[in-house]
Amino acid sequence: MTAKFNNNSNPTLSEDYRPLELEKEIRSFWQQNYIQQKLEENRLKQNKGILGYVEGPPTLNGVPHVGHARGRVMKDLRYRLKTMQGYYIPFWAGWDTQGLPVELEVEKLLNVKNKRELLEKVGMEKFVEECKKAIIKYHKEWVAADQKLGVFINHDKAYWTYHDSYIEREWQILKHAWNQGLLEEGHYVVAYCPGCQTSLSSAEVGYEGAYKIVEDPSLYFKFKRSDTENEYFLIWTTMPFTLITDTMLAVNPEAEYAKVQVGNEKWILAKQRVQPVMQELQVHEYRVTETVTGKDLEGTGYEYPFKDLIPEQAEIEKKHLLIHKVILEDFVDVDTATGVVHQSPGNGEEDFFAAQKRNVPIYAPFDDEVKFTKEAGTFIGKFARDTDSIVVEELKKRNLLVQCKTIEHEYPTCWRSHHKLFWLARKEYFLRTDRINNKVLEAAEKVNYYYESPKNRFISFLKESKPWCISRERVWGAPLPIWKCQKCSHKSLIASKQELLEKATEKQPEDFELHKPWVDRVILKCEKCGGTMRREDFVLDAWHNSGAAPYARFTDEEYKKYVPVDYLTEAMDQTRGWANTLLLEHVILTQKPESPYEAFLLQGLTQDAKGRKMSKSLGNVIEANTTLEKHSADVFRFYVLRKCPPADPNDFDIQELNRRPYQVLSTLYHLSRFTLQNAEFDNFNPQDHSLEWARNGRHFKPVDRWLLSKLQETTETCTEKLETCQFNFALAALEDFVIESLSRLYVPMVRKELWTDDPHTLERRLAVYSTLYHALKTVNSLFNPTTPYLSEALHQRVFKKLDPTLVETVNLESWPESDTQLRDLVLEDNFETLFKAVSLAYAARQAGKLKRRWPLGKAVVVSPEEARETLSRNECLFLEISNVKTAEWVGTPPESVKGQEWVSASEGDLSVYLNIQRDEKLLGEGIMRDLARRVQALRKERGYRPTDVLEAAHIADLDDEYTRLLQPYLDEMAELVRARKVYLHSSRSEIKIQWYDSQLGEKRIAISIH
Ligand SMILES: [Zn+2]
Ligand SMILES: [Zn+2]
């Protein structure tokens, strides 16, 4: 063997594309050469603009799964794209570290059941310490995933939402709200989770997956109308325990109500509900005796039945005229149930407002575990939902039970712990974001969301415009910085640690931090009355904590420079989460209808291969780190971006990774390797043999100009689709260019020109290398935001090898721009016609069972005149790729092609006829090509490079007929397989040599190369 290939520089590209190994090598190249740092420093010094960025902080309560990884890839894609375009981005990490999700995770680790047990058994200091430990543990997992994924986010500059410096700035946002009168304590009905023992914001109640099908009682009962013998209000509920907190009945003022005679009783219910309800209750004998309007019932009293069990109910009846009376409310729906709704202002939002506007006292006798307090009489100490059956029993005793069944219905549960939520009237702190809703909506309308449906979902959510309950009855969170005078109730908001320590009546210890319990120990002196001020015992909603990031994670100077940021992307479930709280807090901070982000891409959720949500209970969560240990990051990145639009749910199927995505990247790899090996063989130098050199020297053929034209189109499409977050279409364009234009079309059209080492055609070969080099290098840059490892590897080991003057890393390359000079639409059209004719030729072959490798004698191509001209101009290419010796170009099919020796295929007005008859020459050439293919395969298997020239190739065990047919083609075959000579042997025993078994059609043959 003569090795003409210069094996001078390491490292090289291995024979096969083995991405996992390659990525490991590139990772250490990046680390050893500080590539990530250099990129950031370089763009900081020299840029064409600054684009802000605020990391949507992952919550450190679990390990990242493939859905998280997909999100991080989208962030990194944008970073690499924009830095290649010359922008500086502070692509700095951030971590969400506090709040319920973290607390629950740590409670699980500590094996405690609830908050009470936690405080009794563990204590606050220890708990806070454990929370910090847990965060660090998960942080490691996230950093590891980022490293494997090749995400160039700066971890050294990460923000942590629990740091005092961060919390202080969050407090400053609250101060703005305070000064504008938007932060206030209020008595409201809030959603409350008995498991987490804290209230939730209305945004959290609407979380995806929060509504679950649950079983509840379906209870029909009656309350006796006061001062009547036998009239009853018929009422329906699914929450019997709320009868304990019942204080009024509501009817619709406009609706008609009927009195229905049932036995010797009269039941009052909405007239239009009589028939369905009686059917439901299986009451067959009944009669409407009278109808009245809702208005007529106003002020009517009813006998609250449990006064003996709950003395407080008797007490409050005396306090207000409307207690245990009928009120009129428009919200009462007469299309369902009975149209008479019992009111528990302590347990329902509408009920609460109905009571509040009438100044009816709110009766809400619950503790933090949603157990009844002593105000609930005999029900004291019982968990609310456990009293459902007791209430039903008591109704039965009093002959007030009509029917009790079980129903399944959708009911909101806690998004963290899945407990059924309660609606409870509680004292909480609220941000009155409802009062600035106009500004919020105006700001939201200005944002680019790229896709319609996420935008609509966001805007319609914002329109709900409820006050934001920001207080939480938990431990591990940013503390609410409000101190209240125990004497005169004066309140004061503290906005920094320094201010707090200065105002504290006692010196605080060394380890003081802005967390419970330390912060609770700070006592201030009331400026109004000199009394003692204590902190209001709440922590802040963790969404408020992370929503402060655009302000809290930066210094004042940075904030001015980077906010508003031009682009953010997070998962769809952040619609009610971070996207929302960022916006609200920014409007509060600036008092302007301004969003902290100009564009926000909301990503569809990642589901399992069957389209089911990934969840711990289904056991179908795929962890990022374990996946990336076994699978290539580049292939993963390409796959998740290519599969579907980013806003769509992504059904992640690990089986799919190593199919098409691998194939595309592998093709790019092998094309680059092929180019390198051939180009090095001919001493190609991109500096000397540039596109200009080839053009000026007239070394280009139409096929090269066609490829360069397609490259411009690809560059343009890819860039446009990346900019508009249609990543799947951007990658489809790249895939098409690599697989179709380069691999399937261009290379086969020029491969034969590269086979020779004839010095007379060297310049032509150099022009082909120039085309390939330029196309591949450009496409490699376009791939970099998606497949950073492969792009870096090819940059280092192919392009930089051919041109050592290239920049140190592919990331410092400029983003390719399409060159209109190189675009030629007419030429593209012509080639399109050519390829159509070729594919028809292939189809005709398939019909005649003729392998593509078998040369055929003649093709007749029928087409309209214009196409005919184009096609005949490219006759050489047509003959070359369709492997036919001659072609005839006609307008109508001649008689001759109608015989049996012809096969054909057509599409539209284009038809291709192939003559299937093969004479000895064609048969001989066909055998030669079949054999050459086998020798090529053996070359590859034995590790020869395409440029290596073999001493000899030996073929044995061919029969006489084949030997005779093959004889005239031995020289051509030698050239084709890059061997000095090809020898035929009648039997393998003729020569002592290492033989390899092979197959030619049905025949067993032997091949040897050396
Ligand atoms: Zn919960
Ligand atoms: Zn005071």
* Cβ 363 vs Cβ 248: under 8 Å: no
Q: How far is the CA of 418 from the centre of ligand 1 (A)?
A: 6
DSSP reduced 3-state for 523: coil
Q: What is the percent of the chain with per-residue pLDDT over 70, rounded to a whole number?
A: 99
481 Cα to the center of ligand 2, angstroms: 17
What is the residue whose two structure tokens read 């150099």? 766
- Exposure class string for 853-872: b at 16+ Cβ within 10 A, else e: ebbbebbbbbbeeebbebbe
Label residues 353-365 b or e (16+ Cβ within 10 Å = b). Answer: ebbbeeebebbbb
Which ligand does the CA of 485 lie closest to? 2
State the distance from the centre of ligand 2 to the C-alpha of 501, rounded, in angstroms: 19
pLDDT digits 0-9 by tens, 24-34: 999 999 999 99
Range from 208-217, 264-273, 398-407, 801-810 carrying the lowest mean pLDDT: 208-217
**568-582 pLDDT, tens digit each:** 999 998 999 999 999
Q: For the chain, what is the mean pLDDT?
A: 93
Tens of pLDDT, residue by residue over 905-950, are 999 999 999 999 999 999 999 999 999 989 988 988 888 877 788 9
Non-local (6+) Cβ contacts of 866 within 8 A are: none
Determine the Cα–Cα distance for residues 998 and 1005; give it in Å rounded to an integer.
5
Q: State residue 10's pLDDT score.
A: 52
Residue 69 has pLDDT above 50, yes or no: yes
CB 83 within 8 A of CB 641: no
Share of the chain above pLDDT 90, in %: 82
Exposed, middle or buried: residue 725 (CB in 10 Å: 0-12, 13-18, 19+)?
A: buried
Q: What does the pLDDT look like over 464-510, one tens digit per residue?
A: 888 898 998 889 999 999 999 999 999 999 999 999 999 999 999 99
Measured from the alpha carbon of residue 525, the closest ligand is 2
Bridging pattern class, strands 491-493 and 482-485: antiparallel
Going from the Cα of 524 to the center of ligand 2, the distance in angstroms, rounded, reads: 10
Nearest Cα residue to 165 out of 556, 524, 587: 556
Using the mean position of ligand 1's atoms as its centre, give its distance from the Cα of residue 420 in Å: 8
Task: Round to whole Å and give the CA distance between 618 and 696.
Answer: 65
What span, in angstroms and rounded, lies between the C-alpha atoms of 911 and 923? Answer: 25
491 CA to middle of ligand 2, Å?
8
Tell how strand 401-412 and strand 154-160 pair up.
unpaired
Collapsing DSSP to helix, strand or coil, 193 comes out as strand
Q: Locate 510 and state its tokens.
A: 């060394």
User: Which runs of E-coded beta strand occur in 684-769?
Assistant: none
- Please count the other Cβ atoms lying within 10 Å of the Cβ belonging to residue 49: 11
Contact between 192 and 356 under an 8 Å Cβ cutoff? The reply is no
* In the block, residue with structure tokens 């140190």: 808
Contacts 24+ apart (CB under 8 A), 129-133: 130/106, 131/97, 131/98, 131/102, 131/103, 131/106, 131/476, 132/162
The rounded distance, in Å, linking the Cα atoms of 544 and 580 is 10
Q: Taking Cα atoms as reference points, which of 498, 551, 576, 487 lies closest to residue 525?
A: 487
Taking alpha carbons only, the member of 977, 892, 912 closest to residue 938 is 977
319: tokens are: 């306090």
Beta carbons within 10 angstroms of residue 521's beta carbon: 14
pTM (two decimals): 0.85
> Residue 1000's pLDDT is what?
85
CA of 488 to the centre of ligand 2 (A): 4
**Lowest-confidence segment of 94-98, 514-518, 921-925 by average pLDDT:** 921-925
Only one residue has tokens 């977050």, namely 725
Tokens 């033989």 correspond to 995
Nearest ligand by distance to the CA of 99: 1
Task: Give the ligand whose atoms come closest to the C-alpha of residue 528.
Answer: 2
E strands within 10-75?
A: 49-50
CA distance 584 to 469: 13
In angstroms, what is the span from residue 948 Cα to ligand 1's centroid?
Answer: 68
Sign of the alpha-carbon dihedral angle for 874, 875, 878, 881: negative
Residue type at position 704: D
Distances 477 to 111, 709, 796 between C-alpha atoms, Å: 20, 58, 48
Ligand nearest to the CA of 473: 1
Q: How far is the CA of 194 from the centre of ligand 1 (A)?
A: 7
Q: Which residues surround ligand 2, an ion (CB under 5 A)?
A: 485, 487-488, 490, 526, 528-529, 531
Residues 6+ apart with CB under 8 A from 325: 248, 249, 299, 300, 301, 302
What backbone torsions phi and psi does residue 526 show, to the nearest 5 degrees?
-70, 130
Of 873, 874, 883, nearest to 914 (Cα)? Answer: 883
- E strands, 891-978, are 902-907, 910-915, 950-956
> Which residues lie below 8 Å from residue 115, measured CB to CB, with a gap of 6+?
196, 197, 368, 473, 474, 475
d(CA 978, CA 938): 12
Which of 476, 582, 629, 650 is closest to 110 using CA atoms? 476
Catalytic residue numbers, as ranges: 57, 96, 543, 574, 578, 613, 616
Q: Which residues pair with 2 in a beta bridge?
A: 949
Length of the chain: 1010
Is the pLDDT score of 756 beyond 90?
no
Region 945-967 average pLDDT: 89
CA atoms of 482 and 495, how far apart (whole Å) = 9
Residue 989's contacts (CB-CB under 8 Å, 6 or more residues apart) are none
Inter-residue contact 791 to 783 (CB < 8 Å): yes
30, burial (CB in 10 Å: exposed 0-12, middle 13-18, buried 19+): buried
CB 567 within 8 A of CB 597: yes
What pLDDT does residue 9 have? 41
Residues 6+ apart with CB under 8 A from 568: 53, 54, 56, 579, 597, 599, 600, 601
Give tens-digit pLDDT for 313-353.
999 999 899 999 999 999 999 999 999 999 999 999 899 98
Helical (H) or strand (E) element with 287 = strand 287-293
Q: Quick one: CA torsion of 408, 409, 412, 418, rounded to 10 degrees?
A: 20
> What does the DSSP 8-state code read for residue 12?
-
Sheet containing 902-907, strands listed edge to edge, beginning at the edge strand earlier in sequence: 884-890, 856-862, 910-915, 902-907
Q: Give how far Cα 361 sits from Cα of 186, 934, 997, Å.
A: 15, 92, 95
> What's the gap in Å between 579 CA and the centre of ligand 1?
22
- Is 703 a residue whose pLDDT tops 80? yes
More confident residue, 985 or 209: 985
- pLDDT band for 285, please (50, 70, 90 cuts): very high
**Which of 66, 44, 25 has its CA nearest to residue 157?**
44
Measured CA to CA, the distance from residue 632 to residue 638 in angstroms comes to: 10
Beta strand pairing call for 910-915 and 996-1000: unpaired
Q: Which ligand is nearest to the CA of 491?
A: 2
pLDDT at 357 > cutoff 90: no
Q: d(Cα 922, Cα 925) in Å, to the nearest integer?
A: 5
Other Cβ atoms closer than 10 A to 319: 10
pLDDT at residue 392 in the model: 96
**pLDDT the model gives residue 96:** 97
Burial 504-513 (b: 16+ CB within 10 A, else e): beeeeeeebe
Q: Identify residue 125 by its one-letter amino acid code.
A: E
* Ranges assigned E (strand) in 352-421: 401-412
Q: How far is the CA of 428 from the centre of ligand 2 (A)?
A: 21
What values do phi and psi take at 713, rounded to 5? -60, -45
Residues 167-219 pLDDT 10s: 999 999 999 999 999 999 988 888 999 988 888 887 778 777 788 899 999 99
Kindly report the number of other CB atoms within 10 A of residue 761's CB atom: 13
Secondary element (H or E) of residue 580: helix 578-590
